[in-house]
Amino acid sequence: MPGIKQVQLKYKIIGNNDTFYDGCSTNRKCRCLNITDGILADCSALNLRKSPYFDEGVVSVNLSLNLLTYLPDEGYLPATLKYLDLANNKISKFGNDKLVPFSTSTNIISLNLTSNLLSLDADTYFTGVFQNLKYLKYLDISNNSNEYKSYYCPDEAFQDLSSLQSLFIDGVKNVTFGKGFSTLNNLTLLKVTGIAAKGIISREYFDNFPNLEHIDISATTEWRRIDHFALTSFEKGALQKLTKLQYLDISYHRRLHMCGFRNVTNDLPYTSIRILKANYLECERSVSTVLFVDDIRPLNSTKLEELFLDGNNLEETDIVVPRYLPKSLHYFSARDNRWVVSRYAYYDIPRLTGIKTVDLSFQNKHQMSQSKNSWYCTEYFHETSHCICERLPIQTNENVFHWNRNEEVSYFTNNIQNSYLITACIPYNPSKFQLAFIPPNTETIIIESAKVGDNLPPIYFSTSTVKKILLRNNQIYSFTGPICNLTQLEYLDLSNNRAVDISSFIFGSLVGLKYLGIDNNLLGYSNIFQTKSSVFIFESQTNLVFLNMSSNRISILFKNFLFRASKLKTLLLDHNLLTDWNMSIYHMEDLNFIDISWNQILYLSSDGMNLLEKAFHLNSTIDMSHNPFDCSCNSMIFVKWLELHRKYLKGFGNYSCIYLHNSINIFEANIHLKKDCYSYVGVIVSVTIGIIVFLGTICSMIIYRYRWKMRYWYYILKGEYGIDHDKTDDNFQFDAFVSYSENDRWFPKDYMIELLEKQKGLRLCIHHRDFIAGSAIAENITNAIHNSRKFVCILTNNFLESKWCMYEFNIALEDIVVSRQGKNSIIIVKLLRTDFRNIPREMRYVMNDDTYLDYPDDEEDRVIFWESFERDLKF
């Protein structure tokens, strides 16, 4: 109301978004958001029956999904308002007593009134109702009219919208667009909804819209009954006056059939058409249809760029249909049809030089239709059959057709022969390869959910320009290949095919591949993943950036599996059966994400942890969530490793492991394992060390105790294989072994040799004379003592100080025990005065038990000494 005093609001609006603006309406529940050119007041879905008051500065008001029965009162909307959304309310009138609405909001440029109760009649749309909306550019009043009621369109009410550019309006039964619309010179987009029963687009239907560039009369809603809303006819000439028309959508009129499509294409050469959508013009369960040459012949005279023929039950086309498609066409979609490829279907494909993208997805889906209203079409099947008969071409001369066919075969064969054959594949050979015919400049091929199967054989593409191929959701059970002549291919999706086998050369020639999806297959069952041959699968993919191998039941990947994929950034291996990480990634310097979630990893081995740490050095993120981590002493190092590198692990806060049959988070697990395992490890280590020390001590004592015996036997056994010598009568080589110090060498040299050897004929072992050169000293000593009847010890202080002399004495003691059954063979000759306290205990035992000889100073006594000495040596 104009008289309402405008008061500056100071309400604090509470919400989750920190950009909410303080105060924009009298309703506290409205959210106020600061946007680019002012404030957005969002009061949607609040069950409002009356509009609140909005403050100046608000440029956008959203009152949709409420219970309003009339427009906001005058003065409630600010003068700054530009965008008003009143969709999905119960508004039935624009104002009371025919007061002209929007008198205080004349700057509105967008008004949305869809899904209300505004009948398309003169009472609702009275003359002047839009006179305050001179700047309005967008108006949506669709889905307001009752489809069972007859209306006429009050065109006078719309002639005030001089700035209008886009109009969404109902096209109910008997409605025509009068001359009032001819004044809308800026109107370029028209969306007509709700074409009524037996709806007909007449020749005059668009006469008052000379500047239209965009027409959408598609039936975008699911009809309760097809005969209530179906457009049944599209007369020739209806589009001929629309010279600026660039976009046309006639989709989802299932009673229009391909006959209506032919009438539409007949007019298009008079327009500037760029995009044509004619999807679902046939019933889902109806008979199959055919695309004839005359259906698309007029398109050859246009500059059409995109053509959509989805869901028209097309089973085949005339052989020469590609010949009449315009060269400007770069996008062709024929999804959800019933294509049957005939022997000669591809002969005209090389003429489609403009095609960049082909989409043939969802073929033969009609057999499993999910539409709840698909059966409503069954009573109109005869219309489809009649339409086919009506469009049947006049029979062509067989000879002419035969000549044209040969011409096309020759044309294509020459192109193949002159094309460059890549070296990664065997040149095309009909007996070894399947040849895939595609338009020569195609860049994108989409064949999703088209029941393509069952094997991907050796295949050679007719052109190398393809950059993107989508073959997901098909029935390809084996990826064999190779795939040839696609050197520019960057994107390949083979996911969801249930493939159980893959060869090592399938991708061998795809050197430019950057994105590869082979997820949701069963490649883990392929034998190649159990052998090192799997490392050759991606040998040529040096440019690979994204690889998805999730959901394949893969249990192992070898270390060099991706050794050539040095540019890889994303690697997805989730939902597999991996139990450890074996693959090297150190060379992937651009790697930023690895997903190994939902596998069977209990814990990683030390090698697995070391390999993944290479990714941490590259600041990569790894997702290891939803693995059945084990919390035990066996996995303690791994659990600690997880916590240590948690900043690199996606969603680490949700990681858990199984501890005593319960699931606990990693932080708790480390606390428990530290308590349970470290003390146990300490005890084990301590006990082990103690046992080792104890055994080492015992062994040392035993070795020390029997050191002489061990040495003795070692050299005795070693000496068994030595040189044989002359023996005495009692099998001894020497009569006596003489042990003396080098400082006492004069005694055996000057006396013993002369008096005992030369005069008495005894054989003495004198070490400086009789030891074998080249043998170890210890070995010589042991063997000489063992082979001597007696051991003579020349006892002096020098002898006691010599380690070798003492060594000889100890070996002699062992020889008595081992070889002589305890019979003493030691003769001690005390040569000079010796301090008895320096004599070792073992030697004292011998001297105490057995008589030893003192070398006398008197010459007469020496004669007796030598006689006694000789007698003892011979005894």
Query: Hey, which of 82-86, 334-338, 589-593 has the most confident mean pLDDT?
Result: 82-86
Residues 6+ apart with CB under 8 A from 845: none
Identify each DSSP E strand in 771-836 by its residue range: 788-795, 826-830
Helix and strand element counts for the chain (H, E): 16, 40
Identify the residue whose tokens are 């003429």: 351
Tokens of 119: 């009948």
Length of the chain: 875
Range 571-593 average pLDDT: 93
CA dihedral 841, 845, 848, 854 (to 10 degrees): -70
Q: Is 602 exposed, middle or buried (0-12, 13-18, 19+ CB in 10 A)?
A: middle
Percentage of the residues of the chain whose pLDDT score is greater than 70: 82
Comparing 383 with 723, which gets the higher pLDDT? 383
Q: Per-residue confidence at 50, pLDDT binned at 50, 70, 90?
A: very high
Range 52-70 average pLDDT: 94
Half-sphere exposure of 255 (CA within 13 A, CB side): 21
- Dihedral class, residue 733 (left if φ above 0, else alpha if ψ from -120 to 50, else beta): alpha
| Amino acid letter, residue 207 | D
Range 408-423 average pLDDT: 40
**750-to-734, 744, 791, 852, 859 alpha-carbon distances in Å:** 19, 11, 19, 21, 15
Render pLDDT for 278-326 as a digit per residue (tens, 0 to 9). 998 887 777 778 888 888 999 999 999 999 999 888 888 877 888 889 9
Range 689-718 average pLDDT: 76
In angstroms, rounded to a whole number, what is the distance separating the alpha carbons of residues 720 and 783? 9
In angstroms, rounded to a whole number, what is the distance separating the alpha carbons of residues 438 and 460? 11
Q: Which SS3 state, helix, strand or coil, does residue 680 take?
A: helix
- Greatest C-alpha distance within the chain: 170
Range 474-484 average pLDDT: 90
Residue 436 host element (H or E) = strand 434-436
Q: Which SS3 state, helix, strand or coil, does residue 643 take?
A: helix
pLDDT beyond 90 at 697? no
Per-residue HEC secondary structure of 584-620 comes to: CCCCCCCCCEEECCCCCCCCCCHHHHHHHHHHHHCCC
How many of the other CB atoms lie within 10 Å of CB of 204?
13
pLDDT beyond 70 at 15? no
pLDDT beyond 60 at 11? no
pTM of the full predicted structure?
Answer: 0.69
Strands 357-359 and 331-333 come out as: parallel
Comparing 463 with 819, which gets the higher pLDDT? 463
* Residue 870 Cα to chain centre, angstroms: 98
Strands 58-62 and 83-85 come out as: parallel
pLDDT score recorded for residue 624 = 93
Residues 6+ apart with CB under 8 A from 59: 35, 37, 38, 39, 40, 80, 81, 82, 83
Rg of the Cα trace of the chain?
52
Render pLDDT for 339-373 as a digit per residue (tens, 0 to 9). 766 554 566 777 788 899 998 888 876 555 555 55
| DSSP assigned state of 12 | P
Identify the residue whose tokens are 């009298």: 26
Q: Per-residue confidence at 400, pLDDT binned at 50, 70, 90?
A: very low
Find residue 248's DSSP bridge partners. Answer: 215, 276
Residues 6+ apart with CB under 8 A from 199: 171, 173, 229, 230, 231, 232, 233
In angstroms, rounded to a whole number, what is the distance separating the alpha carbons of residues 253 and 383? 13
Tokens of 750: 């000057």
| DSSP assigned state of 855 | P
pLDDT score recorded for residue 633 = 84
Comparing 304 with 717, which gets the higher pLDDT? 304
In angstroms, rounded to a whole number, what is the distance separating the alpha carbons of residues 555 and 568? 21
Strands 621-623 and 357-359 come out as: unpaired
Q: Is 830 in contact with 822 (CB distance < 8 Å)?
A: no
- Dihedral class, residue 50 (left if φ above 0, else alpha if ψ from -120 to 50, else beta): beta
Sign, CA torsion 478/481/485/486:
positive
**Mean of all residue pLDDT scores within the chain:** 82
Render pLDDT for 69-92 as a digit per residue (tens, 0 to 9). 999 988 899 999 999 999 999 999
Q: Which SS3 state, helix, strand or coil, does residue 391 take?
A: helix
pLDDT score recorded for residue 771 = 82
How many of the other CB atoms lie within 10 Å of CB of 389?
8
Domains delineated in the chain = 1-187 (3.80.10.10), 708-874 (3.40.50.10140)
pLDDT score recorded for residue 233 = 83
In angstroms, rounded to a whole number, what is the distance separating the alpha carbons of residues 679 and 673? 10
Backbone angles phi, psi at 306, to 5 degrees: -135, 130
Q: Per-residue confidence at 408, pLDDT binned at 50, 70, 90?
A: very low
Range 597-609 average pLDDT: 94
pLDDT beyond 50 at 197? no
Q: Per-residue confidence at 190, pLDDT binned at 50, 70, 90?
A: very high
**436-to-354, 506, 571 alpha-carbon distances in Å:** 18, 16, 30
